[in-house]
A and B are shown apart, each in its own frame.
Chain A
Amino acid sequence: MFQAKIYVTLRKSVLDPQGSVVRKSLFALGYHNVPEVRIGRYMVVDLEVADRAEAAKQVKDMCDKLLVNPVIEDYTFELVEV
């Protein structure tokens, strides 16, 4: 069995309103050395699959079909055997 840790982030070209508000808040707290904050999504997906390559293929399919919107989001993932 594998566990996929999936990181979904807004594409560089897309304005991240949440990130810019958080950056301003950090600035107000005295962190003046933070030029940018980007906020994304972290998902943990367990797969009952024995083979690593098959698990990777399924996770990629899931991301492309549902978990990620390619218009504004990018993703990376790592697979851990559990």
Chain B
Amino acid sequence: MKFGVVVFPGSNCDADCLHAIQTVTGQPVEYIWHKSGSVDGFDCIVLPGGFSYGDYLRCGAVARFSPVMTPVIEFAQKGGLVIGICNGFQVLTEAGLLPGVLHRNKNLQFLCHDTFLRVENNTTPFTCRASLGQVIKVPIAHGEGNYYADPETIRQLEENKQILFRYCDPRGEITPEANPNGSINNIAGICNERGNVLGMMPHPERCAESVLGNTDGQLIFQSLLDFWQRRCG
């Protein structure tokens, strides 16, 4: 299974993603420069965190028109696996691959701390290793992670079980206090209707090794590998 990590000008979690994927999955992984016109040969594309194009205009709004996004969008539309983490999630919403938008945190602060997430759907390529309702600890680091969509879109996300992660307290309770940024329904991560594109604000690549004191983020990368190997086998 070959992973590709897209590098936009201003990406700053690209190296972390590459390292985490390599370490957790042992699979080949390469950077994909934002000017690349192709993603041929890759099985999973990661849009990493950072401040692509300085977050000018809106987060992800400019990156969405990077040359690499044309093949990434085609890849996703054909069912290819795509993950957007943090800024990558913002790029995916701007590109229309995921619904809704991430706007300013409710308290206007840049938030950089651990959060607890409850796995709300474990039948996706990104969560198949998890048990339903499993609580994982994953850090966030963003100023614009406040997920918003109109009520009809939220209803569809809920109905189709596209909400994969919700902010929760350590016991897995979905409470307003556990919601760091004001996201509707404590949404931390969603997938598209087809289930092949994931966007999440928390950073699994920052907690995927025991040396970092937390390995909960491995879950996402291990799930992907499990999914892929079952499909191939």
Contact = CB atoms under 8 A, between A and B. Distances in A.
Interface of A: 13-15, 17-18, 21, 66-67, 69, 71-72
B26 to A, nearest CB: 39
A17 B108 contact: yes
A14 B104 contact: no
A21 B101 contact: no
Interface of B: 57-58, 61-62, 65, 93-94, 99-101, 103-108, 146, 148-150, 182
A72 B148 contact: yes
Given A66-B57, A67-B57, A18 B104 contact: yes
23 contacts: A14-B103, A15-B106, A15-B148, A17-B104, A17-B105, A17-B106, A17-B107, A17-B108, A17-B146, A21-B108, A66-B61, A66-B62, A66-B65, A67-B57, A69-B58, A69-B101, A71-B93, A71-B99, A71-B100, A71-B101, A71-B149, A72-B103, A72-B148
A14 B149 CA distance: 9
Contacts of A17: 104-108, 146, 182
Nearest to B109: A17
Given A17-B108, A21-B108, 9 more contacts: A13-B150, A14-B148, A17-B104, A17-B107, A66-B57, A66-B61, A66-B65, A69-B61, A69-B101
